[in-house]
Amino acid sequence: MISFKHITFMPLLLTLSLSATEGIPQESPQSWFDAGQAVVARNKSYRYAQADIPIAKNIILFIGDGMGVSTVTAARILEGQLRGEPGEENELFFEEFPNVALSKTYNSDRQVPDSAGTMTAMTTGVKTDMGLIAVNEYVVRGNCDSQSGNHLQTILESAEQHGMATGVVTTARLTHATPASNYAHIMEREFEDDQDGPRFSNPGDCADIARQLIEFSVNNPGSDGLEVALGGGRQSFLPARPNADPETGNPGERLDGRDLTTEWLENHSNADYVWNKQQFEAIDPARTDHLLGLFDPSHMAYSLDIDSDQGGEPSLSEMTAKAIRLLDKNDKGFYLNVEAGRIDHAHHAVNPKRALLDTIELARAVKTAYEMVDLEETLIIVTADHSHVFTIAGYPIRGNPILGKAVNVDSSGESENASALARDGMPYTTLGYQNGEGFHFLPGTNTADSIHRTDVNTAGRSDLTDIDTTHEGFHSETVVPLRQETHAGEDVAIYAVGPGADLVRGVMEQNVIFHIMMEASQLEQR
């Protein structure tokens, strides 16, 4: 029994019970949902002033994809160092939020999760298997026939049904797992457009993710569709004919010949579609009710590379600001999900500089939102879907460049002024990965493509003595050589401010985040 001031709390026996035969919990979509609600009830009991909690009219859920705690720490240090400070004492904007908790990220079938299962937990309140989007663990991945009866209602769908405005903003493809888990139900995250279809068992003719975004209002009677959808992934919306893409002149990917960008305009009232920064900036949110922006054929640029994008792209902060201006017109409030989707991609490529700069841009986007909304009526949550095998190691001196080689402290407390040497006589970096493409990549060119180079060195450590490890093309050393660096399974942090933020506390299953958003907004009671 835990005693908390006047409140005595008996730990709740959640609906998970142990199976005598297998020794693993008997879980079900319903048990995940019920257990999540029970945690919210428990956390409500910790409140001192039960009556004075205002309702969160608006909800903004920020996701740093792959933004584990070590990523937040390293980004905080880099942000300070970019201002000429030591860095360790710095705080990213959202680290000042009053409520923090830990989120257990495992999928119902995986110790280390992916973005589909984890985001489904946050958007539906139910944990599910890896690769599944807003469908429960009874679905067989890649099998359309198994979807029937197993859809999970998302918070975005509930918000639409209650007349709220809704939006999804991401630097990844809009059809990627995290954004898709808001508006689509699909047995396979990679089914982004119909060209992907033949790879899966699709006899029930499940609609691809891009179609589900454009057809949302058609599939959800009573909803007028999403108000904001901004990100990359244009290829899945354009027909596979020459010159379909205005930026590249390449064909799109749709084999059905449909141009979903024009269908967006047909399916929504007072709608606009933009594909470059200039068009984006010309949009007046007061005069547009439904805005689709597709700024790249695939993922948008990393923050580091944004100025070199051919057609020009808005930043995550700029997209967040425009989204809020548009959504805030609705008197009933809004639900907005903003994803920094490429922290994850840079980590997979063991390229810490891009991962950390995208994390810093996420913090800017959070600050932008924070300063625009009324915190008396807006709940802001910042979290990650999962972590990465990314570490901050050695005993470098305070203020040592976070992207640099470790420099130790001598016996008098001064900098040794030379890289510390490992037992093989070679220097090593502070940042590193437990697995990934190899031991060391040489600095590449100044393009984002350099992070996908394949000149992997599996022979052992390389001598970094003359290598600039702070260069954007530098790829960190890894211990286990895998084709791609993997996610990590430890908990991630949740940061919250606004009405209901006090429910974010302790160590929580990731799906509890959904139940907190539902309780804070009283969405179903409106």
Query: Which stretch, 187-195, 218-226, 354-362, 450-458, contacts Mg ion (CB under 5 A)?
Result: 218-226
Rounded (10°) CA dihedral 497, 498, 499, 502 = 20
Number of residues that bind Mg ion (CB under 5 A): 2
Q: Per rule CB under 5 A, is residue 163 in the interface with Mg ion?
A: no
Q: Which of the choices Mg ion, Zn ion, none does residue 109 contact, using the CB cut-off of 5 to 8 A by kind? A: none
Residues present in the chain in total = 526
For residues 192 and 344, which CB has a smaller minimum distance to Zn ion in the complex? 344
Q: How far is the CB of 148 from Mg ion (least distance, A)?
A: 26
| Residue 224 interacts with, from Mg ion, Zn ion, none (CB under 5-8 Å by kind) | Mg ion
Long-range contacts from 450-456, C-beta under 8 angstroms, 24+ separation: 451/346, 451/349, 451/351, 451/354, 451/475, 452/349, 456/481
Span near Mg ion by CB under 5 A; candidates 14-22, 181-189, 219-227, 349-357: 219-227
Indicate left, alpha or beta for 80 from its phi (over 0: left) and psi (-120 to 50: alpha): alpha
Shortest Å distance, C-beta 217 to Zn ion: 30
**Closest to Mg ion by CB, 65 or 160:** 160
Least distance CB 189 / Zn ion (angstroms): 11
344 binds, options Zn ion, Mg ion, none, Cβ within 5 to 8 A by partner type: Zn ion
CB of 344 to Zn ion, least distance (A): 4
CA–CA separation, 7 and 113 (whole Å): 36
Known catalytic residue: 115? yes
CB count in 10 Å sphere of residue 266: 8
Choice between 260 and 492, CB closer to Mg ion: 260
200 neighbors 187 (Cβ within 8 angstroms): yes
Taking the complex as a whole, the smallest distance from the CB of residue 348 to Zn ion amounts, in Å, to 6
Residue with Cβ nearer Mg ion (201 or 220):
220
Q: CB within 8 A of 371, min separation 6: which ones?
A: none
Smallest gap from Cβ 211 to Mg ion, in A, equals 18
Kindly identify the residues of this chain, within the stretch 227-256, that bind Zn ion according to CB under 5 A.
none
State which residue, 289 or 344, has the beta carbon closest to Zn ion: 344
Number of residues in contact with Zn ion under rule CB under 5 A: 1
Give whichever of 328 and 344 is closer to Zn ion, judged by the CB atom.
344
Q: To the nearest whole angstrom, how small is the minimum distance from the Cβ of residue 306 to Mg ion? A: 29
**DSSP-assigned states of every residue in 29-92:** HHHHHHHHHHHHHHHHHT-S-SS-----SEEEEEEETT--HHHHHHHHHHHHHHTTS-STT---
Out of 224, 259, 263, 377, the residue judged to bind Mg ion by CB under 5 A: 224
Min CB(50)–Zn ion separation in Å: 41
**Binding-site partner at residue 296 among Zn ion, Mg ion, none, CB < 5 to 8 Å by type:** none
Task: Spot the catalytic one: 70, 103, 108, 115.
Answer: 115
CB within 8 Å of 466: residues ≥ 6 apart: none
Q: Is 109 exposed, middle or buried (0-12, 13-18, 19+ CB in 10 A)?
A: middle
Distance CA 159, CA 175 (A): 20
385 touches, from Zn ion, Mg ion, none (C-beta below 5 to 8 Å by class): none
Tell me the residue nearest to Mg ion as measured from the CB.
224
Per-residue tokens: 387: 């972590």
Q: Which residues pair with 293 in a beta bridge?
A: 230, 274
Interacting residues with Zn ion between 35 and 94 (CB under 5 A) = none
Residue 352 phi, psi (nearest 5)? -60, -30
Q: Which stretch binds Mg ion (CB under 5 A): 10-18, 222-230, 277-285, 297-305?
A: 222-230
Residues numbered 326 to 385 that lie near Zn ion (CB under 5 A) are: 344
The residue range among 111-119, 227-235, 374-382, 469-477 that interacts with Mg ion, by the rule CB under 5 A, is 227-235
Give the whole-angstrom CA distance, residue 276 versus residue 285: 16
Point out which span in 6-14, 220-228, 336-344, 410-418 binds Mg ion (CB under 5 A): 220-228
**Range list of H helices, 195-312:** 209-214, 216-219, 260-267, 277-282
Q: Which is nearer to Zn ion, 183 or 390 (CB)?
A: 390
What DSSP line would sit under 162-209, residue for residue? TT-EEEEEEEEETTSHHHHHHH--BS-TT--SGGGGGGSB-TT-PPPH
Burial 290-309 (b: 16+ CB within 10 A, else e): bbbbbbbbebbbbbbbbeeb
137 versus 160: smaller Cβ distance to Mg ion = 160
Q: Please report where in the chains the tokens 């690769």 appear, as a residue.
A: 131
Catalytic residues, by residue number, are 115
Residues that bind Mg ion (CB under 5 A): 224, 227
| Residues near Zn ion (CB under 5 A) | 344
